[in-house]
């Protein structure tokens, strides 16, 4: 071997040895804190192989039991911090919200599918703060919430009439209620039929987003270069489907927005979130392209984020009541005692119905509608409890895991509303402080959503008896304890029987529906 070659090989070996010694020294003597404990990753794929396709929140909780309240994992090359503790979630996402209020770069949902201008997906910054301010004015100000009550009452009466005429379609009635209230608030458009064009467009966009956003297709989030993958090559279905959804999302955001603009120009627009923003911007001068995109995105956020979760929560309520008839009877007894049988319960009755409130809290806790929330993102490196949280870590708050904390909720698998009767003001126990998210990413519509659930639940309890469906031999069929898996989780489809409690209940429903 020539001398020059021998020297080159020797120098290369020496450099490798020095680097190995340096890494060994750094790991032994460096003052940099370690990352939190977690499952052992494999080269390149990290911990992807340890995550099931369904019900990942259960695996996250198992890791929490094994490794502690803060768990570190890797999805390919991306660090992930998993939180199963409410205390830790508040410490990081509320007390240190300036560092943990960002969102990961959702390439599939934002860049390819076109959800990039909705508040749920916006990166932390000026645009986020602008959207957040708009949402707070519409859904966190008490005068605004009070102004929605006549609309909520009207649509709840239509929902009850739907249960009278077609009780088997109860999920569709809940979805229509949520869609109609949010469509009118957002665009000033009153929904008068189940075939409403704008509702249909929105449902198609959200449904197809869920279908095309499966975990297997989210590889592009970890390897963004895949967004440039040609659609004519084999294996491009993820991109073809995403671009198809992009067209649906564009229709969903553009069409009702243009409708509001036309009505404003003709002077016959109803008051609405979108109309108010447009008029506010018109007073300042011409509408910029950026402002137009932001108004469209903010409006789409209201509808897309609220419709599915409201219908899901109400379906879970019915599921729990069918499986626990003794709880339903207690709620009926309380309503009969407080409200009576001559009218329907209203918002002002809520403080006088502690048991029904406990039932609603238990519905929230027993099966949370969004088990793992929407991930946050660390903007810079941080240290917490002696551990290093890397910059650009995906932060997953396992909301379902928090709802199963045996220290706070003994026997968490049991549906037991009484657990909230003895601690009605305990913020640590109240699942309302968990299921709507944390910090600056807290759902601004949480009070509106909660009031919807109360109004629908109380009206159903007051007017309807609930029971299991029966088989061909007349035996009751208890629906199995099964839930769908995914970003939003609800009971698997089940049958039950709605029966008007009294002739007076039927009379009330029909009278109020005629007025609506």
| Out of 265-274, 406-415, 422-431, 503-512, least confident range | 422-431
pLDDT confidence tier of residue 263, bands split at 50, 70 and 90: very high
Q: Which of 261, 289, 276 is nearest to 139 (CA)?
A: 276
In 3-state terms, the chain is what percent helix, strand and coil (to 5)?
60, 10, 30
Within 342-445, residue ranges assigned H as helices are 354-366, 399-403, 432-435
- Cβ-Cβ contacts under 8 Å for 276 (sequence gap 6 or more): none
Q: Which of 360, 330, 351 is nearest to 431 (CA)?
A: 360
- Cβ-Cβ contacts under 8 Å for 400 (sequence gap 6 or more): 57, 58, 61, 368, 371, 372
Q: Is the pLDDT of residue 123 over 90?
A: yes
Tens digits of per-residue pLDDT, 421-439? 977 557 778 999 999 999 9
Q: What is the mean pLDDT of residues 184-211?
A: 89
Tens digits of per-residue pLDDT, 81-103? 999 999 999 999 999 999 999 99
Q: What is the mean pLDDT of residues 274-288?
A: 92
Residue 256 to residues 78, 151, 177, 203, 359, Cα–Cα distance (Å): 38, 19, 18, 13, 37
Q: How many Å apart are CA 381 and CA 389, to the nearest integer? A: 6
pLDDT confidence tier of residue 9, bands split at 50, 70 and 90: very low
Q: Is the pLDDT of residue 410 over 90?
A: yes
> Average pLDDT over the chain, rounded to whole?
90
CB atoms within 10 A of CB 273: 25
Distance of CA 402 to the CA centre of its chain: 15
Classified by CATH at the fold level, domain 28-515 comes out as Cytochrome p450 (1.10.630)
**16 annotated as a binding-site residue:** no
Tens digits of per-residue pLDDT, 143-187? 999 999 999 999 999 999 999 999 999 999 999 999 999 999 999
Q: Which of 452, 371, 370, 367 is nearest to 415 (CA)?
A: 367
Q: How many Å apart are CA 27 and CA 240, to the nearest integer? A: 45
Backbone angles phi, psi at 158, to 5 degrees: -65, -40
Q: How many Å apart are CA 106 and CA 98, to the nearest integer? A: 20
Cα four-point dihedral sign 262, 263, 265, 269: negative
Residue 418 to residues 352, 360, 422, 462, Cα–Cα distance (Å): 16, 11, 7, 20
Q: What is the mean pLDDT of residues 433-457?
A: 95
pLDDT confidence tier of residue 14, bands split at 50, 70 and 90: low
- Cβ-Cβ contacts under 8 Å for 106 (sequence gap 6 or more): 115, 121, 221
Cα four-point dihedral sign 411, 415, 418, 424: positive
**pTM of the predicted protein model:** 0.90
Yes or no: say if 195 and 204 are a contact pair by the CB < 8 Å rule: no
| Out of 2-11, 280-289, 427-436, least confident range | 2-11
């Amino acid at each position: 071997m020539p001398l020059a070659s021998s020297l080159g090989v020797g120098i290369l070996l020496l450099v490798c040895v020095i680097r190995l010694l340096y890494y060994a020294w750094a790991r032994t003597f460096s003052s940099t804190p370690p990352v939190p404990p977690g499952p052992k990753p494999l080269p390149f794929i990290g911990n992807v192989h340890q995550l099931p396709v369904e019900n990942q929140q259960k695996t996250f909780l198992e890791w929490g039991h094994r490794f502690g309240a803060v768990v570190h994992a890797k999805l390919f090359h991306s660090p992930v911090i998993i939180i199963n503790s409410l205390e830790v979630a508040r410490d990081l996402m509320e007390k240190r919200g300036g560092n943990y209020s960002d969102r990961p770069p959702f390439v599939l949902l934002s860049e390819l599918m076109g959800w990039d201008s909705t508040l749920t997906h916006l990166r932390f910054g000026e645009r986020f703060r602008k959207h957040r301010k708009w949402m707070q004015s519409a859904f966190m100000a008490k005068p605004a919430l009070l102004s929605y009550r006549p609309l909520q009452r009207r649509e709840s009466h239509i929902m009850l009439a739907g249960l009278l005429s077609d009780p088997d379609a109860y999920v569709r009635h809940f979805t229509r209620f949520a869609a109609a209230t949010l469509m009118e608030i957002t665009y000033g458009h009153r929904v008068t039929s189940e075939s409403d064009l704008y509702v249909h467009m929105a449902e198609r966009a959200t449904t197809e987003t869920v279908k095309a956003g499966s975990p297997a297709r989210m590889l592009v989030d970890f390897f963004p270069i895949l967004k440039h993958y040609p659609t004519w090559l084999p294996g491009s279905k993820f991109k073809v489907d995403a671009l198809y959804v992009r067209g649906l999302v564009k229709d969903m955001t553009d069409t009702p927005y243009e409708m509001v603009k036309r009505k404003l120009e003709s002077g016959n627009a109803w008051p609405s979130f979108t109309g108010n923003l447009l008029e506010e911007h018109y007073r300042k001068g011409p509408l910029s392209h950026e402002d137009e995109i932001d108004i469209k995105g903010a409006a789409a956020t209201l509808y897309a984020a609220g419709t599915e979760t409201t219908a899901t929560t109400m379906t879970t309520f019915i599921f729990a009541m069918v499986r626990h008839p003794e709880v339903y009877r207690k709620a009926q007894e309380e309503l009969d005692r407080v409200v009576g049988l001559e009218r329907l319960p209203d918002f002002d009755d809520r403080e006088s119905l502690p048991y029904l409130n406990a039932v609603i809290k238990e519905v929230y806790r027993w099966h949370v509608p969004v088990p793992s929330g929407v991930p946050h993102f660390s903007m810079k490196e941080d240290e917490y409890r002696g551990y290093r949280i890397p910059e650009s870590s995906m932060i997953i708050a396992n909301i379902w895991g928090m709802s199963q904390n045996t220290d706070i909720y003994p026997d968490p698998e049991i549906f037991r509303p009484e657990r909230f009767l003895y601690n009605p003001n305990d913020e640590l126990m109240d699942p309302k402080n968990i299921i709507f998210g944390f910090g600056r990413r807290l759902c601004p519509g949480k009070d509106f959503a909660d009031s919807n659930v109360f109004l629908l639940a109380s009206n159903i309890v007051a007017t309807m008896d609930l029971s299991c469906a029966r088989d061909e031999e007349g035996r009751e069929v208890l629906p199995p304890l099964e839930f769908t898996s995914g970003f939003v989780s609800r009971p698997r489809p089940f049958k039950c029987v709605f029966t008007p409690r009294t002739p007076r209940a039927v009379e009330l429903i029909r009278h109020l529906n005629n007025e609506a």
